[in-house]
Amino acid sequence: MKHYNYEEIYLYLDGEMSPMERSLFEDHILVCEECAEKLQRAKALFQGIKLEEENPPVDIASLVMAKIDKKRKLLPVIYGIFILLIALLTVPVFFGLDRAIFFYYIIFDSLNRVYLVSKAGLSYLFSLKIPAWVFVGAGLMLFPVYFALRKIWRNT
Amino acid sequence: MDEKELALRAKNGDKEAFEMLVRRYQKGLYNYIYRLTGERELAVDFTQEAFLRAYTSMKKYNPSYHFSTWLWRIAHNLVVDHFRKGKLNTVSLQMGEEGEEVEYDVESNERGPFENQLNRERKRIIMQALEKLPPTLKELIILRHFNELSYQEISEVTGMPFHEVKSKLYRAREKLRALLEAYREAL
């Protein structure tokens, strides 16, 4: 009588035998004490290895989804900047280098004006010597406005 | 909803379907990585990273494969890369201190103190025996006995040929049997 070895018995317990092999094995076990004992030993080993899975210490799904949301919100901004840069760089191709330089100059000049006006505005503000608590108070008042706007934005 | 349908919906950009997949597999994947690395914090980080990588390459996912197998493959590569970079000196499965173990063992709260003690002892012995296996064999045992993957799925996750999975699993179990018997005799 052909006996089964442990490798074959493991295949049976792992559900990796074909239906035909399974049926032959099950018939054999009924008449072979030696193989039936091997099967019991293999089952005991499998039972011994089995461990319960433990729960992760944190809710990983929430962390993953929060990261995905953050990424999705940032993506349009990144794409926007990228498209703008490409558009600016392709100006000379369509309008010639002279016009492109003039165009870049206008952009630079506008940004420079914004910077100078902001600087002057801030200098004027500091020259008024307004107490710090006024700024802090004004800053705090912006929070309800921000949350109200966010709520409106989310609802739309 | 079954895995295939969820994976297809996620592939077409359905975020809710992806979240359902994350919820379905987070525990299994976390346990796979934790058993391999022996570090809970690292396991949490890698589980997140595996899901994020899956999300960003969802378009490349081939629906003819199981989503879970694909996910496990991503996690396997992450852990292998990490070992290669030498960030972990050993493939440690060393358990933490006793107190630390109880803290995370949610199921243990449902049992009596004596059963908890026995369960902890059993867990410790199995983990020590697993620790003594070479990393490849240990991974096979984890994938088969903890994650209950089929030989074909294990072959896809590890990139090992099917016949090698079969023979190595046999070797791993024989080694484990010898180790566990030695522990039992020592007790």
pLDDT in tens, B12-51: 989 999 999 999 999 999 999 998 988 899 999 999 999 9
Work out the minimum CA distance from B85 to partner chain A, whole angstroms: 25
Q: Are residues B87 and B4 in the same domain?
A: yes
What is the rounded distance in angstroms from the CA atom of residue B154 to the CA atom of residue A14? Answer: 12
Cβ atoms < 10 Å from Cβ of A3: 10
Query: Which residues span the domain enclosing B176?
Result: 132-182
pLDDT tens-digit readout, B51-75: 999 999 998 898 888 999 999 999 9
Q: Domains in chain B: how many in total? A: 2
pLDDT-wise least confident of A88-102, B92-106, B117-131: B92-106
Domain boundary (B61, B92, B123) is at B92
User: Quick one: B84 and B14 in the same domain?
Assistant: yes
Q: How high does pLDDT run on average in chain B?
A: 82
Residue B102 inside a domain? The answer is no
Strands (E), A80-144: none
The CA distance from A128 to A121, in Å, is 11
Average pLDDT over residues B5-10: 92
Residue pair B133/B115 in contact (Cβ under 8 Å)? The answer is no
Task: Tell me whether B4 touches chain A (CB under 8 Å).
Answer: no
ipTM above 0.85, yes or no: no
Among A6, A60, A78, A153, smallest CA distance to B25 is for A60
Question: Where residue B153 sits, what CATH number does that domain have?
Answer: 1.10.10.10
Do residues B26 and B11 touch, judged by C-beta distance below 8 A? Answer: no
Chain B residue whose CA is closest to A55: B27
Structure tokens at A94: 């369509």
Record the pTM.
Answer: 0.67
Residues in chain A with CB shorter than 8 Å from the CB of B122 are: 48
Residue A156: pLDDT over 70: no
